Structure 1
Amino acid sequence: LVLGAAAGVGALTLGGSALVLNAPRRAKDPALLGETVPEGTRAVLERILEADATTRERLTRLRPQAVVPAATEVLDDVQSLLTRIDALVGSEQLQSLRASSGEVTMLEGMASRYVPELVDAASDTLGFLQTFEGSARQEALDNLGSIDRQLNVLAEGVEQIERDIVGGVSRSLEVHSEFLRTRFADQHLNPIIDV
């Protein structure tokens, strides 16, 4: 009996060690940032990458709770959005902009505030899905749908930034914010996030 308990503790210890060794790294990926990025811009871009890494860690913890296809879709859409934001951060065109440019500021807002707030809402909703039945469960599913539509609006905002950067156009933060507000209104969404 003692031998069995010791073996169980050893297996748990090894399993815990494997989790620690395989845990996602939170370090910023310096390879994404070129050597010539201005220091102010570099600091903001590093904050974006750090925020995206933190959100990815949350997604990893939330995936086991995604027991319905709508939940998986939301988490996949968050992952896709983070990948696109990171790709923009890695582009020379974005790295050449001032830290105060509308594109850099909007991406920082998305990575640091908007996406995490939507992930918070999704996390709460996933918890409700595990305990609610009937109309309350349907309301939670409707909430997930709303969160996903809001993520899609943010993806449209990222797409606009991608097009602008490729086209050599830079817009103010207010123009980017107004684009998002208009898209939310066009889709009759009452966003969780404050743009």
Structure 2
Amino acid sequence: MLMICVFYAEDVSLNPVTAYPFLILSDDRKQLKRGEKLQFFRNSAQRFDVWSCITAKEGYDTGRHYWEVSVGDNKDWKVGVVRDSAQRKGLFDMSPRNGYYVLWWSTNHLQALTSPPLTKVKMNGRLRYLGVYLDCDQGHVTFYNAKTGSEIYSFTSEGAFGERMFPLFGTSDKEVPLMLPGAPAHTYE
């Protein structure tokens, strides 16, 4: 029997309180890219200070959720999910052991940020539009090619996550922004 799954993308927006200080956000909080000068001055326990990342404003502690992000021709990006209690300050491994379930594109390679060593993810062609499916109750995070619907990679936790999980985005690209759906062409501050 053929099973067809349909995901309806949720509307997520970027949370500037968590942003690495050199990230530039669009006014509508739907796009981000790396800048060359400090953008955010007020420190926060939620703010990334080493990794060039930001979380969404929306967090989820139960149920199933799906969102998409356009990575386009961005040369260095991270997309995934992070536990609310996960470390954000300092240098650390972004891995499930530390509360991070993340894919990383850099130097033309896609990798899952698993405990060292990283896991190389094989793909056909260049990924430009990514879907993220989070099942809080089952402890699953699955990544899809949002254009083809094909599964790219999946993380599995031992049971429910048991806490609030936040969509995570990151980039070191100063030219090509990451964009959340519905983001119009936008100028940056």
Q: Which interval holds the TM-score relative to the shorter structure?
A: under 0.3
**Superposition TM-score, scaled by structure 1 size:** 0.25
**Superposition TM-score, scaled by structure 2 size:** 0.25
Structure with the higher helix share, 1 or 2: 1
Structure with the higher strand share, 1 or 2: 2
Compare CA radii of gyration and give the structure with the larger one: 1
RCO (CA 8 Å, sep 6+): is it higher in 1 or 2?
2
